[in-house]
């Protein structure tokens, strides 16, 4: 069985996924002007992907004997489109760091299924990061 530390990390991931799914959906609703119209469809799509991640992680955590959190990490929407996307870049960078840590921990504990799940989710997060940094011209 897995450690409490790994279960805690999975709950951190769930809180983060709930956070960004709400954050990106509200940004989709609130983004204004030309820039907003450009990013709105992708924000909505990414929000749905993030909610799917939360569900997958919660199912895995429940299987491992943990209780999935219902509390999101702090949500930061931003005041304008540029600020929104800058917050999103930071959120994706934090997710990438956390998910790499979870993969390492899962492998250390020989929990290959959790590691594989997070490798797949990590690929999505890196794609989201690429989109957001591209929008900012980085």
- How far is 133 from 117, CA to CA, in rounded Å? 25
50-69 average pLDDT score: 98
pLDDT number for residue 124: 98
- The number of beta carbons lying within 10 Å of the beta carbon of residue 83 is 13
Pull the structure tokens for residue 86: 């800058």
Is 37 exposed, middle or buried (CB count within 10 Å of its CB: 0-12, 13-18, 19+)?
exposed
Domain 4-135, architecture per CATH: Up-down Bundle (1.20)
For residue 70, what is the enclosing H or E element?
Answer: none
- How far is 50 from 61, CA to CA, in rounded Å? 16
Question: How many CA within 13 A on the CB side of residue 122?
Answer: 15
Domain ranges of the chain: 4-135
Nearest to 106 by CA among 60, 50, 70: 60
pLDDT number for residue 97: 98
pLDDT digits (tens, 9 = 90+) for 113-133: 999 999 999 999 999 999 999
* pTM, 2 dp: 0.96
Nearest to 31 by CA among 81, 83, 85, 82: 81
pLDDT at 138 over 90: no
Report the Cα 135 to chain-centroid distance in Å.
Answer: 18
43-53 average pLDDT score: 98
79-90 average pLDDT score: 98
pLDDT number for residue 1: 81
pLDDT number for residue 103: 98
Q: What percent of the chain has pLDDT over 90?
A: 99
pLDDT at 63 over 90: yes
């Amino acid at each position: 069985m897995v450690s409490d530390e790994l279960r805690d990390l999975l709950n951190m991931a769930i809180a983060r996924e709930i956070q960004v799914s709400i954050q990106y959906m509200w940004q989709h609703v609130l983004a204004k002007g030309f820039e907003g119209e450009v990013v709105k469809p992708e924000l909505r799509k990414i929000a749905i992907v993030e909610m799917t991640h939360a569900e997958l992680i919660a199912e895995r955590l429940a299987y491992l004997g943990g209780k999935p959190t219902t509390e999101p990490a702090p949500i930061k929407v931003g005041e304008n489109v540029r600020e929104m996307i800058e917050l999103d870049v930071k959120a994706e960078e934090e997710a990438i760091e956390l998910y790499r840590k979870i993969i390492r921990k899962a492998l250390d504990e020989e929990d290959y299924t959790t590691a594989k799940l997070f490798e797949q989710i990590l690929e999505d997060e890196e794609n989201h990061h690429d989109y957001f940094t591209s929008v900012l011209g980085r």
